[in-house]
Amino acid sequence: MKEVIKYSREDYFYSMKLPPFLQPGNTIGIMCPAGYMPAEKAETCVKTLKKWGYKVVKGKTVGGKSKNYFSGTDQERLDDLQRMLDDEKIHAILFGRGGYGTTRILDQIVWKKFKKNPKWIVGFSDITVLHGYLHQQLQIASIHGPMAGAFNHDEGNNRYTTSLKDSLEGKPTIYLCKAHASNRQGKAKAALVGGNLSLLVHSIGTNAELDTDGKILFIEEIGEQLYNIDRMLLQLARAGKLKKLKGLIVGGFSECKDTVRPFGKNVNQIILDAVQSYRYPVCFDFPISHEIENVAVIIGKEYRLEIGPDQVTLSNI
């Protein structure tokens, strides 16, 4: 029987379905809905998943014959994803990589069979738009976490990839990180939502736009100009996405760039300015990012966030 989590407030109610957690012998599909990934880049992931006790099916978009940026044409990527969504013998879909391209096929996906037999969808970055759609339109939980490429670090044996195993198997998770000087202390208990900042902003006004009211929001980013981060935070604020949060988790903002004439603020200052009117707790440098430090979290599941003077704790117990 599928677990259903119900959240309620005076002005809000929804039910979030959790797909069945994985058991030894279950099958995980690997495909690429966006950018191209050489087949050899997925091999460590395949070996690790098998070591964990799972069967693995690779889609045609892993190391396909594409000659451009994408892992295949829009139709080829759509067909590969649709096959895995519809296949009842596949119990989770772990994406090879993100990049760009999931939005191009999102509205052509047929969800009829998936809604009857939901399975875990795992990824981050460009996959944020898919997480948003699952959360808002289908009320089905998904996992923001390491993709196949991440397993090439430490041969798939580190606490970030193993956090994915724990999430897939439904084990309680507790993540700890050091306090940051810019943190705003406090506690929150709410459903967790979020993802890549660019994709969250990209989804505003679409069927993948996240309702953040009463929730803990997490954001992360890579390779953006500081002024563009400021612009995206302003867009979230103007769209009301920062107003009624229970808490904000700021993950890694790596490889950020400044203009020749400096913008005048760093990333943390930009974010704090965007939420200065609100009183909820905020933490920085949480291990959700485009780097190795990227723990798995279940979007739509209730988490406890505690930001203290020395340590930050995020748990789903």
Task: Please give the full DSSP string across 130-162, using - where no structure is assigned.
Answer: HHHHIIIII-B-EEE---GGGGGGGGG-SHHHH
Q: Residue 74: what are its φ and ψ, rounded to 5°?
A: -55, -45
- Structural fold of domain 3-168: Rossmann fold (3.40.50)
Confirm or reject CATH 3.50.30.60 for domain 174-315, answering yes or no.
yes
The pLDDT of residue 264: 97
Q: pTM to 2 decimals?
A: 0.95
> Going by DSSP bridges, is the β-strand pair 12-18/3-9 parallel, antiparallel, or unpaired?
antiparallel
Angle between helices 267-274 and 226-238 (to 10 degrees): 10
| Token pair for 224 | 């953006």
Q: How far apart are CA 111 and CA 33, in angstroms?
A: 16
The pLDDT of residue 3: 61
Q: Which residues are catalytic?
A: 125, 220, 290
- Of the candidates 281, 271, 314, 312, the one whose C-alpha atom is nearest the C-alpha of residue 185 is 281
Question: DSSP class of residue 244?
Answer: T
The pLDDT of residue 4: 61
For every residue of 54-116, DSSP letters joined together read: -EEEE-TTTT-S--SSBSS-HHHHHHHHHHHHH-TT--EEEES--SS-HHHHHTT---HHHHH
Mean pLDDT of successive 10-residue stretches along the chain, which has 317 residues: 52 73 98 97 97 98 92 98 98 97 98 97 98 97 97 90 97 97 98 98 98 98 98 98 98 96 97 97 98 97 98 95
How many helices (H) and strands (E) the chain has is answered by 9, 15
CB 186 within 8 A of CB 281: yes
| Token pair for 189 | 């208990």
Q: How far apart are CA 16 and CA 139, in angstroms?
A: 5
Dihedral angle computed from the Cα positions of residues 159, 296, 90 and 36, in that order, rounded to the nearest 10 degrees: -90
The pLDDT of residue 156: 82
Burial class (CB in 10 A: 0-12, 13-18, 19+), 314: buried
Contacts for 132 with CB less than 8 Å, ≥ 6 apart: 195, 199, 200, 203, 208, 209, 210
CB 32 within 8 A of CB 42: no
Burial 135-152 (b: 16+ CB within 10 A, else e): bbeebbbbbbbbbbbbbb
Over its C-alpha atoms, the chain yields an Rg (Å, rounded) of 19
- Diameter over CA atoms, the chain: 58
The pLDDT of residue 11: 36
The pLDDT of residue 9: 43
Q: How far apart are CA 173 and CA 160, in angstroms?
A: 12
Domain boundaries, the chain: 3-168, 174-315
